[in-house]
Structure 1
Amino acid sequence: MRTVGLVVEYNPFHNGHLYHLQQSLKITGADAVVAVMSGNFLQRGEPAVVGKWARAEMALRAGCDLVLELPVAYSAQPAQWFAYGAVAVLDACGVVDALCFGSESGDLASLDAVAGLLADEPEALARELNARLRQGMPYPSAYTAAAGQLLAARGMADLAFSLEQPNHTLGLHYLIALRQLKSRIVPYSVRREKAGYNQADVTDAAIASATALRKLIAETGSWDAIAPFVPSYALEILRREAEAGRAPVDWESFARPLFHELLRLPPKELAEYAEVSEGLEHRIRRAAGELTEWRVAELLERLKTKRYTRTKLQRTLLRILLGHRKEWLTRERLSAGVEYLRVLGFTERGRQLLADMRKRASVPVVHSAARGDWAYLAMDARASAVYAQAFRKPDPADAMRDFRQPPIRA
């Protein structure tokens, strides 16, 4: 059985995601799909609009056969570690033949050429990157500029465009990760159509970005507003979760526990959390004390500078909210890859994949946070407990769901 791997967030699942899934099967000739999906907290440092179990169910209804969780240690990271963690999950399965990702151009050859140059992180790249960071550039801009200079020096300046857009950046890092892990997985790319990754406006009758859909939900307070852009089963699941008080979730849902931590901890202790660096702890404490109301959006506006982008700050606040210390997320630990594969859901074909994985996976396959004492699995369970605090109808059972919920079956 030929299998394609997808790296997804599905926040929420929409028609563009369905197109990518269908095209991935088509161009790879795959019979089955393994999706590695972020849990309750996502790459840009945001909470998912609806929880991971609901999004896993959407994925299965759409045609994915097996949904595995990307640990929160990787899911709320810049592109480099997000991509590395996701590829590490797919590679550890032992059953994934291809990886298909979306990109703005669909130009896999150019991306692969750049990845071949940057995969070993040459000294020149590190030197240029550090120089730009010292100048106050945010990491994404610094990496793009440093890589672009290196490419120009190697006579490859015409390929630098690949680093300027978010899906190109992620795609590049997927390709780099495949090389670093010496994976046998073959990459493919599907051109992103009609809506950009972070495009906030709706410009098509049926395709809109997840960013635009979340904006519509927030502005209208109605799920009907996104009906033209999502499959009927996705809308059905979203409405069910909303009726149960489990959606929609956004950063303001965590204002109280976040500000509790920010005001409780002295700057010295804030500095011990991941993403807090260069005196940012003092800036955070000062800004928290100057707010006119307890709103995360206002805090982010006060903190934002040219150096500290909104995404960087969201990741920082998320690590504080979840209690993630720097020593848990070191380069050495992250580069060691995954120690387990967490199953969120599967179909009948997915059951066959799981049977194959028991023979071929390089790490254990687990169906519950109660099985195994890996540090990153415990982090995921705690993150789910924090996420449950955002629900409008609090239920202690939701906080412990990672220990009790069996994989979703479709």
Structure 2
Amino acid sequence: MKAVGLIVEYNPFHNGHFYHIHSSKEKTNADVVVCVMSGYFLQRGEPALLPRRVRTMMALEGGADLVVELPYIFSSQHASWFARGAVSILSELGVDTLCFGSEHGDVYPFLELAKFLQNHEKTYNSLIKEYSSKGLSYPNAAAQAFSALEPEKSWPDLTKPNNILGFHYVRALRELHSSVQPETITRKQAGYHDVQISEHEIASATSIRRSLINEKMPPSAIAHTIPETTRLQIERFLKHGDQLYEWERFYPYLQEKILASSLEYLARIYEAEEGLEHRFVSHIKQQPSFHDFMKACKTKRYTWTRLQRLAVHLLTGTEKQEATTALSPGKADHIRLLGMNKTGQAYLNKVKKHVGVPLLAKMTKRKTAQQKLDERAALAYYMPLSPSQRILKWKEEYELPPVILS
């Protein structure tokens, strides 16, 4: 069975994701689609709009065959660690190809770019430090450093978000000496950061979330941008009395965590660098909403995404030493199974003897550093619920098996 791997968040699953799945399968002539999906907290430092079981079902109904989780320590990270964790899982699962969406649309220049930056790594890193010292955020410093190296104009533009991730996927494949081959398809229509829903059938996940959360649109109002199965899943979720998960729901708990903690403790939190804990304490006393808090904290040097990731690690209590220990293997040390159909089951049965890390259907009692953080992320995610609802959700975390789509 030939397998193609995808690295995804599905926040939520929309028509662009449907196109990605089926185009990737067609382009690589694959029999199986394996998705590594972020769990409760995502790469840009946001809570997932919907719990992972709901998003897993969306993925399976949209064409995925096997869905596994990207551990928290990788899912809420900058691009290099995010990519490394996900690529390590796809490598363990023996997929033939990793297919990612990109603005560039041609995989060969990504390979050339990875070789180029590897050959100029010391200069590149030195330039990033130089530009960062001038007050630029890391993404802007990296973009300036890349430009200073005078790359070929035909290579991917590393100011584009999907090109950046694609480059890090290719680099992770090289660093891990993976046999998985990279491939890419061109991102269609909507831009990654587009905030307004268009009349097109493919809209950005950002604009879809904004419509559902900020503008309080019902799923039916954005039905042209999402598969019917996604619309039904969201409606079913809301019908059961829950609300979509977004930062404002977590803000009271973030306030409590920061204001009830000492500065010494806050300084131990992962990504609390250069005195950011002082900035957080100062502004969280004054700002009535998470959005206002982020606006107050944001500077030219500290991007919204960077600050949100620190906020996530505060919410989960992830300390620097814990993160260092969890990242020390340099890859995922387990694979949590989230869902599959019959094709996915058949593929899993074929490859599981060759997988070099534990395959987990449920949370185990003895946990690695990565698994302990996964557990805390699950506990933190359900904070906005009532105590009785939290207990129910936490119990499901331990007892429910993977989603099986018959």
What is the TM-score with the length of structure 2 in the denominator? 0.95
Partner of 2:167 in structure 1?
172
Comparing 160-169 with 78-87, greater Cα deviation is found at 160-169
Secondary structure of the 2:112 match is helix
Secondary structure of the 1:68 match is strand
| Cα shift at 1:332 | 8.7
Partner of 2:26 in structure 1?
26
Comparing 198-207 with 314-323, greater Cα deviation is found at 198-207
- Give the alignment of 1:4-403 within 5 angstroms: 4-93=4-93, 95-119=94-118, 122-150=121-149, 152=150, 156-159=151-154, 161-218=156-213, 219-291=215-287, 293=288, 295-330=289-324, 333=327, 336-370=330-364, 372-391=366-385, 394-403=389-398
Secondary structure of the 1:220 match is coil
Identity %: 36
Equivalent pairs counted in the alignment come to: 403
Secondary structure of the 1:330 match is helix
Secondary structure of the 1:324 match is coil
* Equivalent residues of 1:81, 1:334 under 8 A apart: no
* Equivalent residues of 1:148, 1:157 under 8 A apart: no
Comparing 116-125 with 220-229, greater Cα deviation is found at 116-125
Secondary structure of the 1:145 match is helix
What is the TM-score with the length of structure 1 in the denominator? 0.94
Instruction: Say what the alpha-carbon RMSD is for the aligned residues.
Output: 1.7
Distance 1:120 1:346 in 2: 41
* Equivalent residues of 2:110, 2:156 under 8 A apart: no
> Which segments of 5 or more consecutive residues in structure 1 lack a partner in the other structure?
none
Distance 1:174 1:334 in 2: 19
| Cα shift at 1:167 | 0.2
Q: Please give the per-residue CA displacement for 1:312-371, whole angstroms capped at 9, x wherever unaligned.
A: 110011100011111222399256211111100011111112212321112111111126
Distance 1:172 1:372 in 2: 36
Comparing 339-348 with 194-203, greater Cα deviation is found at 194-203
Match for 1:114: what amino acid? L
Q: Please give the per-residue CA displacement for 1:64-102, whole angstroms capped at 9, x wherever unaligned.
A: 111010011010111111111110111121x20000000
> Which segments of 5 or more consecutive residues in structure 2 lack a partner in the other structure?
none
Q: Please give the per-residue CA displacement for 1:251-285, whole angstroms capped at 9, x wherever unaligned.
A: 01111211111101122211100111001111111
Distance 1:382 1:323 in 2: 8
* Equivalent residues of 2:109, 2:155 under 8 A apart: no
* Equivalent residues of 2:326, 2:369 under 8 A apart: no
Secondary structure of the 2:168 match is helix
Secondary structure of the 1:171 match is helix
Distance 1:194 1:117 in 2: 30
Secondary structure of the 1:80 match is helix
Distance 1:8 1:368 in 2: 21
Distance 2:323 2:376 in 1: 16
Match for 1:249: what amino acid? Y
Change (3 A) 1:20 1:39: same
Distance 2:96 2:170 in 1: 14
Match for 1:223: what amino acid? P
Change (3 A) 1:30 1:22: same
| Cα shift at 1:121 | 7.0
Distance 2:158 2:395 in 1: 41
Distance 2:68 2:326 in 1: 23
Change (3 A) 1:234 1:255: same
* Equivalent residues of 2:127, 2:145 under 8 A apart: yes
Distance 1:391 1:221 in 2: 22
* Equivalent residues of 1:119, 1:180 under 8 A apart: no
